[in-house]
Structure 1
Amino acid sequence: MEAKIMGLEEIVFTIISHAGSAKSMCFEALRLARNGDFQTAEALINKAKEELYETHDIQNNMIQKEACGERQEVTLLLMHAEDHLMNAMLAKDLIEEMIEMYKENKKYREMLIND
């Protein structure tokens, strides 16, 4: 993220935007994996991670300011953005595990077919 000063409203909507994009990418990756397209699914998961890293930088900046004594305004919108971020992060983690399950399932199905 650029080293620029962002207002609270811009921070909130940036977090929501990146988190929403990441979550959508993760669910698309899950659909691709279910259909056996693991390479594209992994590429989408990696793009989702990049989106989440963007929000992580913003969040860390706010935490560092707070740690240095600069009070951060906590609004309902900020809480909403954090909720979006946490849901996107959880979705990514769970979907990564589900993709691994699809891979294992495919491997076992292929073993059964080849026996």
Structure 2
Amino acid sequence: MMDLDNIPDTQTEAEELEEVVMGLIINSGQARSLAYAALKQAKQGDFAAAKTMMDQSRMALNEAHLVQTKLIEGDAGEGKMKVSLVLVHAQDHLMTSMLARELITELIELHEKLKA
């Protein structure tokens, strides 16, 4: 993995950054997929499985968020990082995954109340 404390200057480093960004997309997507799977379990009344999946979703999202934080810290608001379509896509993935988790958490709680 590349050193996120230093923003890439060379083509090799730019490719390493792209790998990191792809990891951000993968972790975000995994978090969202697990959250939707948890909702499916909650709809079926299996709240223990839903909780386990939401915990896994949180861990994947935390990993993605950590990468995002390092990228932002590395740029320090100075515009050192070249913005690419893949980077924008990764940010979009992360934000939609965060929103999905928040809403799905609420939906699972509603399902629990309805089934009680």
- When the two structures are superposed, what TM-score results if normalisation uses the length of structure 1? 0.84
Stretches of 4+ aligned residues off by more than 6 angstroms = none
Larger radius of gyration: 1
Counterparts in 2 of 1:98 and 1:66: CA distance versus 1, 3 Å:
same
Q: Which residue of 2 aligns with 1:112?
A: none
Task: Kindly state the Cα deviation for residue 60 of structure 1 after the two structures are TM-superposed.
Answer: 0.9
* Distance (whole Å) between structure 2 residues aligned to residue 19 and residue 65 of structure 1: 20
What are the ranges of 5 or more consecutive residues in structure 1 without an aligned counterpart?
Answer: 108-115
* Distance (whole Å) between structure 1 residues aligned to residue 93 and residue 74 of structure 2: 22
Matched residue count: 105
Identity of paired residues, percent?
37
* Distance (whole Å) between structure 1 residues aligned to residue 58 and residue 22 of structure 2: 18
Task: Kindly state the Cα deviation for residue 95 of structure 1 after the two structures are TM-superposed.
Answer: 0.3
Q: Is 1:49–2:58 an aligned residue pair?
A: yes
Cα displacement string for residues 42-91 of structure 1 (whole angstroms, at most 9, x for unaligned residues): 11001001001111111111111122857112111100111111111111
* Distance (whole Å) between structure 2 residues aligned to residue 64 and residue 19 of structure 1: 19
**What is the alpha-carbon root mean square deviation over aligned residues?**
1.6
- When the two structures are superposed, what TM-score results if normalisation uses the length of structure 2? 0.84
* Distance (whole Å) between structure 2 residues aligned to residue 86 and residue 44 of structure 1: 19
Q: Is 1:98–2:107 an aligned residue pair?
A: yes
What are the ranges of 5 or more consecutive residues in structure 2 without an aligned counterpart?
Answer: 5-15
* Distance (whole Å) between structure 2 residues aligned to residue 76 and residue 11 of structure 1: 14
Give runs of aligned pairs for residues 11-50 of structure 1, distance below 5 A.
11-50=20-59
